[in-house]
């Protein structure tokens, strides 16, 4: 019996000790991130960088949030640090090129943006980069309601027209941009110009009939994303339809009740309550008669 | 000789119909009802302290058991206009012993209809804003105006026919006690029964009877419009006004039958509330049941036939879904079975009538619950991204306590009125006695 107890105790001790050993446990595989960096220059103002991060879950790409990235201009060093961003739930994060990097920015006509992730318990470290040439886009109009966009690249110290760049010419609407005609994109010629006729004559504008034209270069391998806007009075004037906000309606405020309703309702209330008042007076009459009797 | 016989008969009627002290069973009932009221008050204190979150009303079911109860009270209050006004104007003489019971029920119900609507408010301390900023375009304001008007008319209609009875009550100081005697004196010591007083009183009662009918129809039609003017499945109906009125007369008549039976038993009023009264009220009740059944068929058959997609969820839930047991219970208990029972003469005897009255009232209460809740759980726009509990509604204990407390409170008012005033108009009964003797 004693031997049996010893065997049992010994076995339990071994099981207990082994339960804490994780040498046989497999380490979980970390996920890998797919990172894309985009460059944006809107209206030739301060450019910014957008980082998009995705990962594959069950064969499908899904956005990942909460991932910290460090962004650098040209090289991974403290002096070229653009900033640290954290990816949001949509899998995106953006950073403006800071003023502190103006000197570095003006040094060359071509820049490389580096996005680096140091890795964490779920994902491996990764880094990616994007190289773009400095470019700008201009927009103008020509007679006969034609829109002209010019794409220029900075070469040394001179802005040079660029040929063969696809430009989207559109008009800005609240839900997105609407192309100025049936053509999706217009290629620039040797003078760097791309032009198209404006065929959206009946489009509503603001109170003065102004609309906003936009010329865009989208995801160009050399120049990234460039866009510029121009306000023109080509839309139809917005005429606010006669609203009944201040009219007397059933759904208006108390002070704007329809007259017919006020007359009918007040009439009924006064008529019924007048009868009730008379009936109360009637009690007083009965009381008086009783006192006299 | 005949004159002395008549005087003896008069005295007997007075003795039979004078208000009496509560028996021990009546006292027990008062204690039980008071206990319900106290629990209801405590639940309401919790609701005021912690807010409407103590109820199970949420974003979708924002009108729950309180509004069902409100509609029920408004419905039951209509009986005053049916028994008192319609019967009187139509020359239905047999209904006169029931007029005061009907008026007492009407007053009690309308008081609690007003209270329960304030209970439903999240911030009752802001109630006065309804009068300061209320819009005449809103059916809610119409309801407030018409309920107040109906309350005053009901009070006057209870008071005027009581004036001759107060004169009789003042003769029995020993029986009523000094406090009640003083109260009777305050209310009616000036009534001397002169011809001029009688004429003024009769004109006033006739005026009230004429005035109360349109006001009564308005009160419940406007209550139905609270729903019908809101674009929701099940409420988007032109039938609602008439449907509500028919249901109201039915539940009111059911409540009168229950009260008739109880008071007849308690006070031994078999001579005054006779088998004939039960038989005739049974006929009235079966007519009202058939009328209400007709409106129910109108209300449900046409949407069921069309089965519009937006209403299908609501209708299926009522007919065969989670609300089906309550729906069919309300239809069978509140309408179908009473029709079957009351069609037979034996069914119109006091006890079966009492049971039928209870069935009608209980069925009617659940019917009001079904008018409010299933519709709110089936909005036109699908429910997305809401907590699971928003998809269902079952009242919290606070809601049940307040509702039961309000029902107990209404019964307490009726009991209190019966303790103070004669349940059956004494002078009217004496007059009828004289007419019969002639």
CATH number at residue A41: 2.60.40.1940
Using a CB-CB cut-off of 8 Å, the residues of chain A touching B136 are 254, 257, 261-262, 265
The residue among A133, A150, A169 that closes a domain is: A133
Which ranges in A166-218 belong to alpha helices (H)? Answer: none
Contact A285 B200 (CB under 8 A): yes
Determine contact, residues A93/A101, Cβ cutoff 8 Å.
no
- Alpha-carbon gap: B134 to the closest alpha carbon of chain A (Å): 7
Mean pLDDT along residues A255-279: 94
Residue A20 lies in a domain: no
Q: Give, for A57, the enclosing helix (H) or strand (E).
A: strand A48-57
User: Which letter, b or e, does each residue of A83-101 get, where b requires 16 or more Cβ atoms within 10 Å of its Cβ?
Assistant: bebebeeebbbebebeeeb
Shortest Cα distance from A276 to chain B (angstroms)? 7
- Most B CBs within 10 Å, among A290, A292, A293, to test the B interface: A290
Domain annotation covers residue A116: yes
Q: Do A252 and B204 touch (CB under 8 A)?
A: no
* Residues of B within an 8 Å Cβ radius of A: 133-137, 142, 145, 149, 152-153, 156, 159-160, 163, 189-192, 194, 196-197, 200-201, 203-204, 207-208, 211, 215
Contact of A194 with A188, CB cutoff 8 Å = yes
Query: Which residue in B132, B145, B204 has the most chain A C-beta atoms within 10 A of its own C-beta, making it the best mutation to test that interface?
Result: B204
Q: Is residue A239 part of a domain?
A: no
Q: What is the mean pLDDT of chain A?
A: 88
Q: Are residues A92 and A145 in the same domain?
A: no
Same structural domain, A39 and A121: yes
Contact status of A261 with chain B (Cβ, < 8 Å): yes
The two structure tokens encoding residue B187: 């209310």
Q: In Å, how far is B132's CA from the nearest CA of chain A? A: 10
B154: left (phi over 0), alpha (psi -120 to 50) or beta: alpha
Residues paired with residue A212 on neighbouring β-strands, in sequence order: A231
Same domain, A99 and A154: no
Could you tell me which residue, A158 or A242, shows the higher pLDDT? A158
| Average pLDDT of the residues in A194-220 | 92
Please count the other Cβ atoms lying within 10 Å of the Cβ belonging to residue A184.
Answer: 10
Q: From B145, which residue of chain A is nearest by alpha-carbon distance? A: A269
Q: Do A287 and B190 touch (CB under 8 A)?
A: yes
* CA B93 from centroid of its chain's CA atoms: 22
Contact indicator for B356, B55 with CB cutoff of 8 Å: no
Of A249, A257, A272, nearest to B136 by CB-CB distance is: A257
The kind and range of the H/E element at A51 are strand A48-57
- Chain B interface includes A253 (CB < 8 A): yes
Q: Are B190 and A290 a contacting pair at CB < 8 A? A: yes
A254 and B135 within 8 Å at the Cβ level: the answer is yes
* Residue A114 belongs to a domain: yes
**Could you say which of A197, A232, A267 is where a domain stops?**
A232
Rg of chain B (C-alpha set)? 23
Residue whose C-alpha is closest to residue B18's, from B433, B425, B414: B425
Whole-number Å distance between alpha carbons of B349 and B344? 10
- Do both A126 and A99 map to the same domain? yes
H/E element, B243: helix B240-267
pLDDT in tens, chain B (438 residues): 556 666 667 888 899 899 988 889 889 999 999 999 999 999 999 999 999 999 999 989 999 999 999 999 999 998 877 788 888 888 888 888 888 999 999 999 999 999 999 999 988 999 888 888 889 999 889 999 999 999 999 999 999 999 999 999 999 988 888 999 999 999 989 999 899 999 999 999 999 999 999 999 999 999 999 999 999 999 988 999 999 999 999 999 999 999 999 999 988 899 999 999 999 999 999 999 999 999 999 999 999 999 998 899 999 999 999 999 999 999 999 999 999 999 999 999 999 999 999 999 999 999 999 999 999 999 988 888 888 889 899 999 999 999 999 999 999 999 999 999 999 999 989 988 887 776
- Are the beta carbons of B142 and A265 separated by less than 8 Å? yes
Q: Examine residue A201 and state whether it is found in any structural domain, yes or no.
A: yes
State the number of CA atoms in the 13 A half-sphere of B409 facing the CB: 22
CA distances from B233 to A220, B245, B308, B388, B429 (A): 54, 21, 10, 21, 50
pLDDT band at A26 (very low <50, low <70, confident <90, very high): very low
Nearest CA in chain B to A290: B190
Structural domains in chain B, CATH included, are 23-378+390-437 (1.20.1630.10)
Residue A270 with chain B: CB contacts under 8 Å: none
Asked if residue A126 and residue A147 are part of one domain, the reply reads no
Buried (b) or exposed (e) across A115-125, using 16+ Cβ within 10 A?
A: bbbeeeeebee
Beta-carbon separation of A290 and B207 below 8 A: no
A194's enclosing H/E stretch is: strand A193-197
Lowest-confidence segment of A20-24, A277-281, B251-255 by average pLDDT: A20-24
Residues A84-136: tens digit of each pLDDT:
999 999 999 999 999 999 888 888 999 999 999 998 888 989 999 999 999 99
Q: Which residue of B has its CA nearest to A266?
A: B136
Distance CA B297, CA B286 (A): 16
Nearest CA in chain B to A282: B200
A contacts of B166 (beta carbons < 8 Å): none
A27 in a structural domain: no
Sign of CA pseudo-dihedral B81, B149, B405, B420: negative
Q: How far is A11 from chain B (nearest CA, A)?
A: 50
Nearest residue in chain A measured CA to CA from B188: A287
Q: How far is CA B211 from CA B123, B160, B199, in A?
A: 34, 14, 18
Angle at alpha carbon of residue B82, lines to B97 and B33, rounded to 5°: 70
Element (H, E) at A167: strand A166-173
Kindly state whether residues A204 and A114 are assigned to the same domain: no
Does A282 contact B204 at a Cβ distance shorter than 8 Å?
yes
What was the ipTM of the complex prediction? Answer: 0.87
The band of A21, judged by pLDDT with boundaries at 50, 70 and 90, is low
Q: Structure tokens of B316?
A: 């299926």
User: Is the entire prediction scored with pTM above 0.90?
Assistant: no
Establish if A258 touches chain B: CB-CB under 8 angstroms: yes
| DSSP-assigned letters across all residues of B343-379 | TSGGGGSHHHHHHHHHHHHHHHHHHHHHHHHHHHTS-
What's the whole-number mean pLDDT along residues A49-76? 91
Q: Collapse the DSSP code of A71 into the 3-class scheme (helix H, G, I; strand E, B; otherwise coil) and give the result.
A: strand
Structural domain boundaries, residue A206 = 135-232
Strands A126-133 and A135-142: unpaired
Question: What's the pLDDT at B57?
Answer: 94
What count of CB pairs under 8 Å joins A to B?
A: 66
Q: Mind giving me the DSSP string for A99-154?
A: GGGHHHHHH-SEEEEEEEE---SSB--EEEEEEEE-EEEEEEEETTTEEEEEEEEE
- Do A286 and B149 count as a contact with CB atoms less than 8 A apart? no
Residues 6+ apart with CB under 8 A from A137: A41, A44, A149, A150, A151, A152, A167, A215, A216, A217, A226, A227, A228
> A65 to chain B, minimum CA–CA distance in Å?
21
Q: Touching check for A250 and chain B: CB below 8 Å?
A: yes
Mutation pick from A244, A259, A283, A291 vs chain B, by most beta carbons of B within 10 Å, is A283
Nearest to B207 among A275, A287, A293 (CB): A275
CA B209/CA B116 separation, integer angstroms = 27
Asked if residue A70 belongs to a domain, the reply is yes
Write down which residue in A74, A102, A133 finishes a domain: A133
| DSSP code at position A163 | S
Alpha carbons B363 and B369: distance in angstroms, whole number: 10
Count of domains for chain A: 2
Selecting from A251, A279, A290 the residue whose C-beta is nearest the C-beta of B204 gives A279
**What's the gap in Å between the CA of A286 and the closest CA on chain B?**
5
Smallest CA–CA distance, residue B197 to chain A, in Å, is: 5
Q: Which chain A residue shows the shortest CA-CA distance from B133?
A: A254
Contact check, Cβ <8 Å, A253/B211: no
Identify whether A10 is part of a domain: no
Any bridge partners for residue A225, and if so which?
A: A40
The answer to whether A257 contacts B163, with C-beta atoms less than 8 Å apart, is no
Contact B163 A280 (CB under 8 A): no
CB contact (8 A) between residue B192 and residue A290:
yes
- Rg of chain A over all Cα atoms, to the nearest angstrom: 37
Q: Do A151 and A104 sit in the same domain of this protein? A: no
- Identify the CATH number of the domain in which residue A162 sits: 2.60.40
Are A56 and A93 within one domain? Answer: yes
- The tokens of A17 are what? 């000790």
Is residue A86 within 8 angstroms of chain B, CB to CB? no
**Per-residue confidence (pLDDT) for residue A23, from 0 to 100:** 47
Question: Are B11 and B433 contacting, i.e. CB atoms less than 8 angstroms apart?
Answer: no
Same domain assignment for residues A104 and A69: yes
Residue B102: its H or E element: helix B99-119
Q: Are residues A51 and A124 in the same domain?
A: yes
Is B152 close to A276, i.e. CB distance below 8 A? yes
The nearest alpha carbon in chain B to A273 belongs to: B149
Shared-domain flag, residues A48 and A76: yes
Chain A residues touching residue B160 (CB < 8 angstroms) = 279
């Amino acid at each position: 019996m004693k031997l049996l107890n010893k065997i049992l105790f010994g076995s339990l001790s071994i099981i207990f000790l082994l339960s804490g050993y994780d040498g046989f446990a497999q380490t979980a595989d970390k996920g890998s991130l797919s990172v894309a960096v985009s460059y944006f220059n809107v209206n030739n103002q301060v450019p910014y960088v957008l980082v998009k991060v995705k990962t594959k879950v069950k064969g499908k790409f899904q956005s990942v949030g909460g991932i910290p990235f460090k962004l650098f201009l040209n090289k991974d060093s403290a002096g070229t640090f653009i900033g640290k961003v954290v990816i949001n739930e949509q899998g995106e994060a953006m950073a403006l090129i800071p003023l502190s990097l103006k000197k570095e920015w003006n040094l060359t006509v071509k820049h490389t943006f580096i996005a680096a992730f140091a890795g964490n318990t779920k994902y491996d470290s990764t880094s990616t980069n994007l190289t773009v040439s400095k470019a700008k886009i201009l927009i103008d109009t020509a007679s006969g309601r034609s829109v002209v966009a010019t794409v220029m690249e900075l070469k040394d110290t001179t802005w040079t027209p660029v040929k063969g760049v696809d430009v989207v010419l559109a008009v800005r609407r609240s839900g997105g941009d609407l192309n100025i005609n049936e053509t999706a994109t217009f290629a620039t010629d040797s003078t760097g110009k791309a032009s198209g006729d404006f065929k959206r004559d009946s489009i509503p504008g603001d109170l003065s009939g102004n609309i906003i034209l936009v010329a865009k270069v989208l995801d160009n391998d050399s120049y990234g994303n460039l866009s510029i806007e121009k306000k023109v009075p080509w839309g139809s004037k917005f005429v606010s339809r006669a609203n009944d906000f201040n009219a007397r309606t059933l759904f208006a405020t108390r002070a704007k009740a329809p007259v017919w309703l006020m007359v009918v309702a007040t009439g009924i209330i006064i008529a019924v309550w007048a009868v009730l008042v008379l009936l109360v007076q009637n009690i007083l009459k009965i009381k008086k008669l009783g006192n006299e009797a | 000789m005949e004159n002395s016989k008549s005087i003896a008969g008069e005295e007997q009627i007075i003795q039979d119909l004078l208000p009496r002290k509560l028996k021990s069973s009546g006292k027990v009932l008062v204690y039980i009802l008071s206990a319900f009221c106290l629990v209801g008050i405590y639940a309401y204190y919790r609701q005021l302290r912690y807010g409407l979150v103590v109820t199970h009303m949420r974003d979708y079911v924002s009108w729950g058991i309180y509004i069902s109860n409100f509609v029920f009270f408004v419905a039951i209050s209509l009986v005053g206009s049916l028994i008192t006004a319609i019967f009187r104007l139509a020359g239905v003489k047999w209904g006169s012993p029931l007029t005061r019971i009907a008026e007492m029920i009407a007053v009690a119900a309308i008081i609690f209809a007003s209270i329960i609507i304030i209970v439903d408010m999240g911030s009752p301390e802001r109630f006065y804003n309804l009068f300061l900023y209320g819009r005449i375009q809103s059916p809610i304001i119409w309801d407030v105006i018409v309920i107040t008007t109906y309350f005053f008319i009901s009070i006057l209609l209870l008071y005027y026919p009581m004036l001759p009875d107060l004169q009789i009550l003042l003769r029995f100081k020993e029986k009523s006690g000094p406090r009640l005697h003083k109260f009777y004196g305050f209310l009616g010591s000036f009534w001397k029964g002169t011809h001029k007083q009688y004429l003024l009183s009769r004109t006033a009662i006739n005026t009230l009877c004429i005035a109360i009918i349109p006001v009564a129809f308005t009160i419940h039609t406007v209550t139905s419009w609270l729903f019908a003017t809101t674009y929701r499945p099940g409420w988007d109906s032109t039938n609602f006004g008439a449907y509500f009125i028919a249901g109201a007369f039915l539940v009111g008549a059911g409540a009168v039958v229950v009260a008739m039976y109880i008071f007849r038993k308690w006070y031994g009023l078999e001579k005054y509330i006779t088998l004939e009264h039960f038989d005739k009220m049974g006929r009235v009740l079966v007519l009202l049941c058939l009328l209400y059944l007709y409106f129910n068929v109108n209300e449900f058959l046409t949407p069921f036939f069309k089965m519009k997609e937006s209403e299908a969820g609501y209708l299926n839930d009522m007919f065969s879904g989670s609300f089906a047991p309550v729906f069919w219970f309300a239809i069978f208990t509140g309408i179908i079975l009473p029709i079957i029972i009351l069609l037979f003469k034996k069914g119109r005897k006091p006890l079966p009538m009492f049971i039928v009255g209870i069935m009608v009232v209980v069925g009617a209460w659940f019917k009001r619950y079904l008018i409010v809740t299933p519709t709110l759980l089936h909005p036109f726009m699908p429910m997305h991204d809401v907590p699971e509990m928003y998809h269902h509604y079952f009242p919290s204990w606070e809601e049940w306590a307040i509702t039961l407390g309000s029902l107990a409170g209404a019964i307490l008012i009726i009991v209190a009125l019966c303790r103070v005033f004669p349940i059956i108009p004494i002078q009217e009964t004496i007059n009828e006695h004289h007419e019969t003797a002639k």
